[in-house]
Structure 1
Amino acid sequence: MPGVAATAVASAGVSADEQTLQTVTVNARRRSEDAQTVPTAMTVLSAQTLENQRLYRLQDLQQAMPSVNVAFMHARQSSLSIRGLGNNPASDGLEGSAGIYLDNVYLGRPGMAVFDLLDIEQLELLRGPQGTLFGKNTTAGVLNISTRGPSFSPEGSVAQSFGEDGYVQTHASVGGPLSEQLAGRFSAYRTRENGYVENQYDGHTLGSGTRQGLRAQLLFKPHEAFNLRWIGDYNEEDASTGTRSLFSTGPTINGVNRYEQRAAAVGATLANGRRVNLDAEQSVKVFQGGTSLEANWTLPNDFTLTSISAYRWWDFTPRNDDELNVPVMYNVGQSARDQQYSQELRLASPLGERFDYVLGAYYFRQEMRNQVFTDYGPLADTWNGTPQGALNNVYSLGEGHIDTDSYALFAQGTWHLTPRLDFTAGVRGSYEVKQARVGRAAPVGGAAVSGAAAAVRAGRLGAYDSGELSVYSFSPSALLSLAYRFNDQVMGYGSLSHGEKSGGVNLSVASAPVAGADSLLIGSERANDVELGIKSSLLDQRLLLNANLFWTVVHGYQTNAYDDANLTSYLTNAGSVRSRGLEFEATVLPARGLTLNFNGSYNDVRYMRYPDAPCPAEVALRPGAPASCDLSGRAVVGASKWIFNGNGTYEWDVGQLRPYVNASYAFRSQAVGTVDDSSFAQMPSYALVNLSTGVRGDLRDGQWDVSLWLRNAFDKTYYTTLWNSPNGAYTGVLGTPRTLGVTGRYDF
């Protein structure tokens, strides 16, 4: 039944006799189906695949999936993009282009998924617009996360890991029957690490901290025709995640590098790479949780009715340094408080008829509150080039809120025109109302000023109230698809789809006092997509080979720009974007005990039209620089043209023991680092290698496993995201260095 204890198995797994690939069951079309029969480009990662490659965080998934980029700084400034679409982190007043779902519940903020991915059943990545069946319109795709559900058979797992840089991870789960009709499951984890970025100011390491959480579940199943699954979870983080390292000091113009010049003027000592020089605290605190209730009824004639009710909340509080070892700013950042409610009803017809369908209704309510704060120090004016007294020792606080009500009706049906030919059509209509208000209090502190200094203070930090803002939008989605089974092993498909998601509101004041409150409003994003693909299971189920071509055009693409004057990012519509390319996946069993997985993508993502883009530092800092630049024809931020991932597992028997080795390789080509496409913010290509070896054995009714693992084996320095900084510089968040560790695990 849909939604109850997931039935998927390892995409790289093998059957009991280790000679054929197992079937992978997915809920991509809101009913349980063999992934190879679903005419949609998708990648499925099983729990065993995640464990083999030690993929425990959202930002690690791009090492195993094609066409995926995770721009990660910390829980608030993170975004998932698919095929180069969706690089809009920190968008408090807007949903992402790529939707993330946890146990059939849409997560309103990407940061809600920034916790350790433990006790996971499987991950499904669906590429292309998916709005006809998934709760919120998604123009780029969907990441569907399914956790392990309760079982009426006793089971459990406990694991302990130790690694370099103080890495300690503990996770455990236990479940089983509580009565003949009730089963439960409880899971918990705690991860601690010392960090890998040295702060030269005090000798401490940053990028460290603690993450921990728990999940409790109950499954009530009085008979085969009804089941009810309750889930409650809580996660928290206290860390210095998001510490930015200096990537580039930017351009030198007429013999002067502004960033270096002003750093010298305030007496700052610069550091780069895995070293920073910060005189103030760098930290993030995240608290989040939620609960959901999913009910499934099997009605007469095998119809299935599903109800999913959910509530989630998310609190994020940062403390950010100014990246310098002198008091330019004591603290700067944005905190966020979010809560959401959702209700979904679905009716699924029985399979096996000439026509089968899924239809339903969806309601989503989100309440977002944020605060934008800047606490300037005594050197602020020297650093910012403003008149003395304008910003020194001044504190500014802005607040914003946005309430969203979303209503949708949807339906998707498949006509089995012949025993081999299927035609699918889907439609969703979503109506959304967003009510918002953005304001900023008058600045406090600082010396009394007049003239130019007073004008600068008022212009940058003056009191502002947008008044009530409203966004009303109707967002249709549609799908047409043909699938033809050439034989029992090979299926071809083609599809046309339209995805559309509503606009939003910038919750930062930015330039609104000058440009007007309407400048805070963001228009809708609309995507049209064409797909051609093939799925095959060959060589007596020993080779899985899938490939697809795609061409997507997005109008009103929503992305981030940077306001240097107010030191904040803001959302904007970047005109039109075209994403086109090729994706492939292969899994092969060349010999007993050996499994090889490969996937990759070629993805050309460019702005078709973006005439009013922000200018890169090498243009913006020149005398007489234009107010905007034309990026039409340029590559979209964060999208690597070439991605390739490969991994292999070999396991053999030695008496009662089963030794194994795992190896994975992940390559990403160069990518644009910031939306302005500066030549000083180009993310270099990189490749990561992860290795592990271990041995398994049976103990009583369970299995023990001890492994030695090495992540980033060749200690490659790479960045997960780049960011604009003041005075033309660019900073970035570094990926984890080489880490050696050991894990002991017992499953029973």
Structure 2
Amino acid sequence: MSSTVPQAHPLLRTGRAWPGVPDYAWVLLLALGGALPLQAAEQNDAQTTTPSTEQSASDTRKDNPSATALGKVTVTARRREEDSQKVPTPLTVLDGATLESQRISKVQDLQQVLPSVNVAFIHARQSSIAVRGIGNNPASDGLEGSAGVYLDNVYLGRPGMAVFDLLDIEQLELLRGPQGTLFGKNTTAGVLNISTRAPTFTPERTIEVSGGQEGYFQGRGTVSGPLTDSLAGRVSAYHTRDDGYITNVHDGNKLNGGERQGIRGQLLYKPHDDFSLRFINDYNEEDSSYGSMVVYGAAPKFWQRAALVGASPISDPGRDKVNIDSRQHVSVHQGGSSVEANWKLDNDFTLTSISAYRFWNFTPANDEQLNVSAIRNTGVQVNDRQFSQEIRLASPTGGAFDYVLGAYAFNQNLGNRTFTYYGPQADRYLLGTNLNALNDTYSKANGKIETNSFALFSQGTWHLTDKLDFTAGLRGTYEEKDAKVQRFDPVGGAAVSGAAATVRRNQLGAYDSGDLSLYSFAPSALLSLSYQFNDDLLGYASLSHGEKSGGVNLAVASAPTAGADSLLVGPERANDAELGIKSTLFDRRLQLNANLFWTGIHGYQATTYYQPAGSSQLVQVLSNAGDVRSRGLEFEATALPLRGLTLNFNGSYNDVTYLSFKDAPCPAEISTQPGAPATCDLSGKRVVGASKWIANLNGEYKWQLENRFEPYVSASYAYRSEAEGTLDDSSLSKIPGYGLANFSVGLRHDLGDGQLDASVWLKNAFDKEYYLAAFASLNGSYTASVGQPRTLGASLRYDF
């Protein structure tokens, strides 16, 4: 790495900043980019030792194609650095280089590389991550997810907080099964732990530009390095835009596109080996038309009502066309700060403190899928703030017993505003006749909830022999939630009386739930035995119990007719059993891991539907769906069969069914018929969104040419079998199975003090039609979120 100051920074040589990226991002990037080489020259190799995670960017990009053995993967799944092959728990690890080479830059794409994961995505608020079929609860503002997401050891209280570009990622870890004896927030399905790259005391700089079809453009940049002998900094920024891939035939505009941009700044203070302080600030924003969904399936009632108001919805559930007359828009602003301090105490104990604040603001505008004005605009605006504090004490290792103790506190204040602007055709479309009850009215409801959660957790491992370990963990969580829901009288519309006034009052009338409260104490526990048969083979078995507190439905929903208590949902409890092996074979040329699992969920929390008396509209409600069983097999393999060729293969068989769900909503093909039952029994049916078979295969082959040229080719294929699209088990919303193939070809070349990487890539190469989620809508219709079609693009990256 040269220690001289460049004549012109590469970001300046482009002639202009990336459009839309805030000016402050570039000021920080350029300032730090100029300061780092200066400091490197002043240090003059003063740093003689560097942690393994602090390699230069050019080194991390130049994997040795002559390697003949797989390297060790270090994880912190048990809150201390360990070889992933020695951790007795189902665990999948992806490093940042893998995500970059596979072009995985969004959370909704993670199901293409992870086993047992389903991501339901419509937009940032209506998104969810499910593990082993558990956790498909999009748009539940008053309820945490069954699968927890952590960013740099900070729990994200809303799934939408993870909907941003995956920028400058160091490593991603997926832990499956109930978690809580080592993590801040307790979860019943699993944890997705995302770690970003930390500041380095060796200068790093990266700039990358990508372009592709449908107006796709992405620019990313990172600078990192020392500011003083004990202080390092890192700044990363991105800007992404695309036109969208759904055509609105009403006006010819493209939908499901827009702009995203963000910046992350960090400081690492390390005065000596026994103390470090990492300060992270990040900000992300989105201005897009995501949330645009196609009409996927519908009962006859939908088509009859559409004809009644003169609408022409696209009847073919093709992935690229809608016919709507109103705006489709999403605005997201989010960010936060965290401070992580680590002290090495006497006798090699480690004390860790993580303090964090995050915010998330979401504002939508949604059409009712028609090209006439029945509903002009509807949606739920959300403003969320959270604070968290975690303290952990880790004992030294190497003795007969080691352990981790911790305490966690979490506060969340969330408010939402549910709004609907009805158009002049509202009555005919929603009621089937014109009473002027809903036409041209505006309805608004507010919800708020404050959550306070406190926990003590611990986990210890007894090394009974040199090969046999026994691990036990225990957690106690106390949680309280205070909430309120209030709907205001509608405004606008014609003066009404009689039947019209009754309809307006029943559907839009004022309502106040009063103060709602939930209190709970939830235990979590783990028992595990592992046996190291030899250095390359680990076997393990475990039993665990996890609990997640109840929640509140932050919408009026069923409350006016069923009472305010119908807005409350009870806790979700999980019991899990695991049996697995982890092996490294053929002189570290093959890693093969597999595990069997069985999970029983009691009080499974789900988003269901309810039609209040006197109302023509379905409303979402949270409920305890009953008992669920998830069982199956998961496997992972990484192989180095030839010099320069790396293959990864993972997958799962997952049988997820409702053991008992007697008061479930009926599918539209039943509920829209005269005399239809109020509820249906879904016991024995498959859980929504859970594919039975998942398989992901990817590989890269690279070789060395003369003059330091390194060509490479990579390919991936991700398959998932069919899944239930909506909770009501409707045949109209089933999501068929699909497979996605991605390819890329590129050339790396050592240029100057860095490495240049140019590539051409093709995503969804065979233009497969697929869907990320389905949604029950009005009048027995179902809409679906469409996956991205075939996209051809190119990227140019320089690490120096």
Structure 2-normalised TM-score? 0.91
Match of residue 42 from structure 2: none
CA positional deviation for 1:569: 2.2
Query: 2: CA distance between counterparts of 1:5 and 1:113?
Result: 25
SS of the aligned residue for 1:560 comes to strand
Match of residue 587 from structure 1: 638
SS of the aligned residue for 1:65 comes to coil
Decide which structure has greater strand share. 1
Query: 2: CA distance between counterparts of 1:5 and 1:465?
Result: 55
Query: 2: CA distance between counterparts of 1:445 and 1:105?
Result: 45
Cα offsets for 1:39-93 (capped at 9, x unmatched): 1101111111101110000000000011000000000000000000000010100
Given that residues 4 and 229 in structure 1 are in contact (C-alpha distance below 8 angstroms), is that contact kept between their aligned partners in structure 2?
no
Query: 1: CA distance between counterparts of 2:293 and 2:66?
Result: 49
Given that residues 57 and 205 in structure 2 are in contact (C-alpha distance below 8 angstroms), is that contact kept between their aligned partners in structure 1?
no
Structure 1-normalised TM-score? 0.97
Query: 2: CA distance between counterparts of 1:308 and 1:314?
Result: 20
Query: 2: CA distance between counterparts of 1:657 and 1:514?
Result: 71
> Against the structure 1 CA distance between its residues 649 and 10, is the aligned structure 2 distance closer, same or farther, given a 3 Å change threshold?
farther
> Against the structure 1 CA distance between its residues 679 and 6, is the aligned structure 2 distance closer, same or farther, given a 3 Å change threshold?
farther
Match of residue 234 from structure 2: 185
SS of the aligned residue for 2:534 comes to coil
Does 1:604 pair with 2:655? yes
User: Which has the higher mean CA deviation after the structures are superposed, 72-81 or 4-13?
Assistant: 4-13
Cα offsets for 1:505-556 (capped at 9, x unmatched): 0001001001000000010000000000000011111000000000000000
Match of residue 218 from structure 1: 267
Given that residues 437 and 501 in structure 2 are in contact (C-alpha distance below 8 angstroms), is that contact kept between their aligned partners in structure 1?
yes
Match of residue 543 from structure 1: 590
Given that residues 10 and 22 in structure 1 are in contact (C-alpha distance below 8 angstroms), is that contact kept between their aligned partners in structure 2?
no
CA positional deviation for 1:242: 1.2
Query: 2: CA distance between counterparts of 1:461 and 1:13?
Result: 62
- Residue identity matched to 2:89: T
Query: 2: CA distance between counterparts of 1:65 and 1:327?
Result: 42
Given that residues 741 and 763 in structure 2 are in contact (C-alpha distance below 8 angstroms), is that contact kept between their aligned partners in structure 1?
yes
Does 1:552 pair with 2:603? no
1:37 to 86, 91, 97: 86
Query: 2: CA distance between counterparts of 1:7 and 1:131?
Result: 35
Match of residue 376 from structure 2: 330
Does 1:72 pair with 2:124? no
Match of residue 277 from structure 1: 323
Query: 2: CA distance between counterparts of 1:683 and 1:508?
Result: 28
SS of the aligned residue for 2:134 comes to coil
SS of the aligned residue for 1:648 comes to strand
CA positional deviation for 1:4: 8.6
Match of residue 704 from structure 1: 756
Given that residues 287 and 330 in structure 2 are in contact (C-alpha distance below 8 angstroms), is that contact kept between their aligned partners in structure 1?
yes
2:422 to 363, 376, 388: 376
The 5-angstrom pairing of residues 103-502 of structure 1 reads 103-250=152-299, 257-271=300-314, 272-385=318-431, 388-502=435-549
Given that residues 765 and 790 in structure 2 are in contact (C-alpha distance below 8 angstroms), is that contact kept between their aligned partners in structure 1?
yes
Query: 2: CA distance between counterparts of 1:79 and 1:90?
Result: 8
Query: 2: CA distance between counterparts of 1:290 and 1:15?
Result: 37
Match of residue 695 from structure 2: 644
The 5-angstrom pairing of residues 561-580 of structure 1 reads 561-563=608-610, 565-580=616-631
SS of the aligned residue for 2:119 comes to strand
**What fraction of aligned residue pairs are identical, expressed as a percent?**
64
CA positional deviation for 1:409: 0.3
CA positional deviation for 1:446: 1.0
CA positional deviation for 1:566: 4.1
Given that residues 102 and 716 in structure 2 are in contact (C-alpha distance below 8 angstroms), is that contact kept between their aligned partners in structure 1?
yes
Query: 1: CA distance between counterparts of 2:604 and 2:371?
Result: 38
CA positional deviation for 1:10: 13
Given that residues 65 and 644 in structure 2 are in contact (C-alpha distance below 8 angstroms), is that contact kept between their aligned partners in structure 1?
no
Cα offsets for 1:370-422 (capped at 9, x unmatched): 00011100101110125511111111000000000000000000000000000
CA positional deviation for 1:652: 0.7
Match of residue 653 from structure 1: 704
Instruction: Mark the runs of 5 or more structure 1 residues left unpaired by the alignment.
Output: 251-256
Given that residues 247 and 273 in structure 1 are in contact (C-alpha distance below 8 angstroms), is that contact kept between their aligned partners in structure 2?
no
1:691 to 740, 743, 762: 743
CA positional deviation for 1:16: 7.5
Match of residue 534 from structure 1: 581
Match of residue 253 from structure 1: none
> Against the structure 1 CA distance between its residues 29 and 559, is the aligned structure 2 distance closer, same or farther, given a 3 Å change threshold?
same
Query: 2: CA distance between counterparts of 1:582 and 1:7?
Result: 39
Query: 2: CA distance between counterparts of 1:96 and 1:451?
Result: 44
Given that residues 471 and 503 in structure 1 are in contact (C-alpha distance below 8 angstroms), is that contact kept between their aligned partners in structure 2?
yes
Given that residues 9 and 25 in structure 1 are in contact (C-alpha distance below 8 angstroms), is that contact kept between their aligned partners in structure 2?
no
1:730 to 777, 782, 788: 782
Match of residue 254 from structure 1: none
Query: 1: CA distance between counterparts of 2:343 and 2:746?
Result: 44
The 5-angstrom pairing of residues 88-99 of structure 1 reads 88-99=137-148
> Against the structure 1 CA distance between its residues 159 and 11, is the aligned structure 2 distance closer, same or farther, given a 3 Å change threshold?
closer
> Against the structure 1 CA distance between its residues 321 and 172, is the aligned structure 2 distance closer, same or farther, given a 3 Å change threshold?
same
Match of residue 506 from structure 1: 553
Given that residues 15 and 21 in structure 1 are in contact (C-alpha distance below 8 angstroms), is that contact kept between their aligned partners in structure 2?
no
- Residue identity matched to 2:786: L
Query: 2: CA distance between counterparts of 1:152 and 1:545?
Result: 35
CA positional deviation for 1:202: 0.6
- Residue identity matched to 1:487: N
> Against the structure 1 CA distance between its residues 12 and 491, is the aligned structure 2 distance closer, same or farther, given a 3 Å change threshold?
farther
> Against the structure 1 CA distance between its residues 626 and 552, is the aligned structure 2 distance closer, same or farther, given a 3 Å change threshold?
same
The CA RMSD measured in Å over matched residues stands at: 1.8
CA positional deviation for 1:3: 13
Given that residues 305 and 432 in structure 2 are in contact (C-alpha distance below 8 angstroms), is that contact kept between their aligned partners in structure 1?
no
SS of the aligned residue for 1:51 comes to helix
Match of residue 29 from structure 2: none
Given that residues 198 and 206 in structure 1 are in contact (C-alpha distance below 8 angstroms), is that contact kept between their aligned partners in structure 2?
yes
Query: 2: CA distance between counterparts of 1:13 and 1:477?
Result: 43
- Residue identity matched to 2:123: H
Given that residues 97 and 139 in structure 1 are in contact (C-alpha distance below 8 angstroms), is that contact kept between their aligned partners in structure 2?
yes
User: Which has the higher mean CA deviation after the structures are superposed, 453-462 or 510-519?
Assistant: 453-462
Q: Report the number of matched residues.
A: 742
Does 1:619 pair with 2:670? yes
> Against the structure 1 CA distance between its residues 319 and 689, is the aligned structure 2 distance closer, same or farther, given a 3 Å change threshold?
same
Cα offsets for 1:607-656 (capped at 9, x unmatched): 00000001101111111111111000000000000000000100011212
> Against the structure 1 CA distance between its residues 220 and 239, is the aligned structure 2 distance closer, same or farther, given a 3 Å change threshold?
same
CA positional deviation for 1:153: 0.5
Cα offsets for 1:564-620 (capped at 9, x unmatched): 544542211100000000000000011000011100100000000000001101111
Given that residues 9 and 22 in structure 1 are in contact (C-alpha distance below 8 angstroms), is that contact kept between their aligned partners in structure 2?
no
Query: 1: CA distance between counterparts of 2:479 and 2:438?
Result: 40
Given that residues 12 and 596 in structure 1 are in contact (C-alpha distance below 8 angstroms), is that contact kept between their aligned partners in structure 2?
no
